[in-house]
Amino acid sequence: MTGGAFQVLVLVLLLVVVVVVLVVAAVLLRRPRTASAPVRAAGVQPAPSVRQDAAAGVVRPPETSDLDEAPAKGDAADLQGSEAQAPAVTSSSPPVRPDGSSEPADRADPVAVGRDARLAATRAEQAEQAEQAERAEQAAALMASVTEARTAFEEQMQAGRDELRAQRSDVERREHRLTEREERLDTELRSLNDQLSSVDATRAELDERRTRLADAEAERLAALERVAGLTSQQAKAELVAGVEHDAKRQAVLVAREIERKALREADERARDIVVGAIQRVASDQTSESVVSAVHLPGDEMKGRIIGREGRNIRAFEQVTGVNVMIDDTPESVLLSCFDPVRRETARLTLSELVKDGRIHPARIEEIHERSRGQIEALCLQAAEDAMTEVGITDLHPALVPILGTLRYRTSYGQNVLKHLVESAHIAGLMAAELGLDVAQCKRSAFLHDIGKALTHEVEGSHAIIGADLARRYGENADVVHAIEAHHNEVEVRTVEAVLTQAADAISGGRPGARRETLEAYVQRLEKLEQIAGVHEGVEKVFAMQAGREIRVMVAPEEIDDIAAQVLARDIAKQIEEDLTYPGQIKVVVVRESRATETAR
């Protein structure tokens, strides 16, 4: 049920209530009077109680209803007049019998009876007047309530009319908007229909043109096949080959441009990092040697070293494990051994024996044991000094003496322990520049060649031996991986391993760090020239700058500029795969075109 219908229903109910109230008021106003009939003065017998009161000389009004409670002023005056005449009535009462009882009168006094009748009539009239006044008040209250209800009804009717008028206006506005919207939608629908018709016509025209173009293309291809003597498949193959060649050339050009851009941006940054690390690290170098010289106070000491029938020299060689070479070199004896620790122990032993002067087998064993203790202490001290210099304090105690033995180990003339310290510093500097974990990178570079201390005792490469050793003594997995991957024997997976490789190459590849035997040097240069000379179009190959650069001369009629770039990349890749070398090798491909003419 809507709000308007509910208000109408309420108004109808109020109207019904008002009508009912009006009907009740009219009924009450037209009700007949219910007063008691007047008492006639003559022929009315008073009640027994009245007669008895009259005989006793007392007039008592009869008991009536509650109409006696509101007498008027006239009735009060009549009542006073009646009471004034009461003694006369009393004096005329019947005589009293001797036994004290009164004799009932046969007939009542007419005066008293008339007075009582008038009194009753007065009281009845007063009661009627009071009832009429009460009815008039009730009628007035009813009329007031009816008037109020009518006023409220009219106000509600007016409010309902106003609301209905507002709703009607709102409905009309909505209907007007809906009508406008329908008209607009009809207009848009007609426009869309027109556009759809135009699109259909355009599509049909395009289909027709497409058909004509396909027919024309087929005729053109047929004419081309007749003129060129080639089928469409053959022409496609030639076209694909040409496009593929152009794409390759374009790809090479793009790749070269990308490489140049990357080199311009990255090479400068890498050069700054590497050069800065090299400049900030300086260490002395030693020459690789398998012999040690012991100076003697005189040549007669050589005889004492040899002993009677060679007894001393045999005992010395047996105890120390080194070879003693005594030749014509004045005041000098050479000790030869591949193990640098044993060779250094023998050198200390022989120096002490020469200084003491007592040389015999028992003394040799005694001095040798003392020298071994000194060497172990020196190795331990060297390892602790290296750890302090690098900043490592939590290395496993079992690795410290192994690391100290590298003090007497050299690689291509470079002391291995000092190489480890130098590599750790370089890795730390580069890690700081790149924002990496400096301690982790320094630890990886410091331990990467620890396997070289056991290469004389355990089979295998020093990278794998060092990784197993570090893993056994609880080193971090990243450190172990950097050790085993620093010579690419294992695929590199972490940044620490890459920095370890770079630090190792910088420390070992910078000028003056290591030396190479003449034979190995010549073999490496020959291998470089051989790798570059096997490629097609190469005329001459020159290894220059001690093998740091290889210059390749190519035939200009066979190799163009793009192919020269590809050839340089292929040669560099093959050198990386086939050769092991410190530092880097630059490959330069030279393509020279010459035009010659003779003037006569």
Q: Average pLDDT, stretch 475-489?
A: 89
pLDDT of 1 reads 52
Same domain, 160 and 32: yes
Q: What is the pLDDT of residue 317?
A: 86
pLDDT digits (tens, 9 = 90+) for 392-434: 888 898 898 888 888 887 776 678 888 888 889 888 888 888 8
Highest mean pLDDT among 35-49, 198-212, 262-276, 565-579: 198-212
Residues 86 and 175 in one domain: yes
> Is the CB of residue 483 less than 8 Å from the CB of residue 467?
yes
Q: Which domain holds residue 204?
A: 1-92+106-211
Count of structural domains within the chain: 3
Report yes or no on 222 lying in a domain: no
Please say if the pLDDT value at position 457 is more than 50.
yes
Q: Are residues 67 and 137 in the same domain?
A: yes
What tens digit of pLDDT does each residue of 9-38 get?
Answer: 777 887 888 888 888 877 776 655 444 334
Confidence of residue 549 (pLDDT cuts 50, 70, 90): confident
Domain for residue 221, yes or no?
A: no
CA distance 375 to 372: 5
Question: Of 211, 241, 271, which one is at a domain's C-terminal end?
Answer: 211
Please check the confidence at residue 476 and state whether its pLDDT lies above 60: yes
Does 43 share its domain with 20?
yes
Residue 178 pLDDT > 90, yes or no?
A: yes
Torsion of CA 105, 111, 115, 117, to 10 degrees: 70
Q: Specify if 430 maps to a domain.
A: yes
pLDDT tens string 73-114: 444 334 344 443 333 333 344 444 444 444 444 455 678 888
Residue that finishes a domain, picked among 156, 184, 211 = 211
Q: What burial class does residue 391 get, using C-beta atoms within 10 Å of its C-beta: 0-12 exposed, 13-18 middle, 19+ buried?
A: middle
Residues 414, 542: one domain? Answer: no
Do 155 and 207 belong to one domain? yes
Nearest to 67 by CA among 136, 131, 138, 116: 131
For position 232, what pLDDT does the model report?
A: 67
Could you give the C-alpha distances from 532 to 152, 423, 592, in angstroms and in order?
Answer: 118, 32, 17
Instruction: Give the residue with greater pLDDT, 429 vs 239.
Output: 429
Shared-domain flag, residues 47 and 167: yes
pLDDT score recorded for residue 180: 93
Per residue in 434-443, pLDDT (tens digit) is 888 899 899 9
Q: How far apart are CA 169 and CA 549, in angstroms?
A: 99
Q: Tokens in use for 507?
A: 């420390």
User: Residue 189: pLDDT band by 50, 70, 90 thresholds?
Assistant: very high
Residues 117, 69, single domain; the answer is: yes
Q: For residue 65, is it within any domain?
A: yes
**All residues at 6 or more sequence positions from 75 whose CB lies less than 8 Å from its CB, including other chains:** 119, 122, 123, 126
Residue 274 to residue 97: CA distance in whole angstroms: 168
**How sure is the predictor about 43, in pLDDT bands with cuts at 50, 70 and 90?**
very low
**What is the pLDDT confidence band of residue 514, given thresholds at 50, 70 and 90?**
low
pTM above 0.85, yes or no: no
490, 509, 528: which is the final residue of a domain?
A: 509
Residues 426 and 527 in one domain: no
Give pLDDT, residue 186: 92
Residue 557 sits at φ, ψ, to 5 deg, of -75, -15
Is 155 a domain residue?
yes
- Domain membership flag for residue 363: no
* Per-residue pLDDT tens over the stretch 265-285: 776 676 667 666 655 555 544
Same domain as 565, residue 430: no
According to the model, what pLDDT value does residue 103 have?
Answer: 46
pLDDT of amino acid 521: 67
> Cα–chain-centroid distance for residue 335?
69
pLDDT above 80 for 209: yes
Q: 203 pLDDT band (50/70/90 cuts)?
A: very high
If pLDDT is split at 50, 70 and 90, which confidence band does 199 have? Answer: very high
The CA-to-CA distance between both ends of the chain, in Å, stands at 124
Percentage of the chain exceeding pLDDT 90? 12
Looking at the structure, tell me whether residues 544 and 430 fall in a common domain: no
**CATH code where residue 462 lies:** 1.10.3210.10
For residue 562, being part of any structural domain is answered with yes
477 shares a domain with 417: yes
How far is Cα 108 from Cα 96, in angstroms, rounded to an integer? 17
Lowest mean pLDDT among 148-162, 170-184, 204-218: 148-162
Angle at 222 between CA 218 and CA 225, to 5 degrees: 140
Per cent of the chain over pLDDT 70 is: 77
Q: Which residues pair with 415 in a beta bridge?
A: 410
Note whether residue 29 is domain-resident: yes
Q: What is the pLDDT of residues 343-355, one digit of tens each?
A: 888 888 988 888 8
- The pLDDT of residue 72 is 38
Per-residue pLDDT, 100: 47
pLDDT tens for each residue of 277-319: 655 555 544 444 556 788 888 878 888 888 888 888 888 888 8
Residues ≥6 apart with Cβ < 8 Å to 570: 535
pLDDT mean across residues, the chain: 77
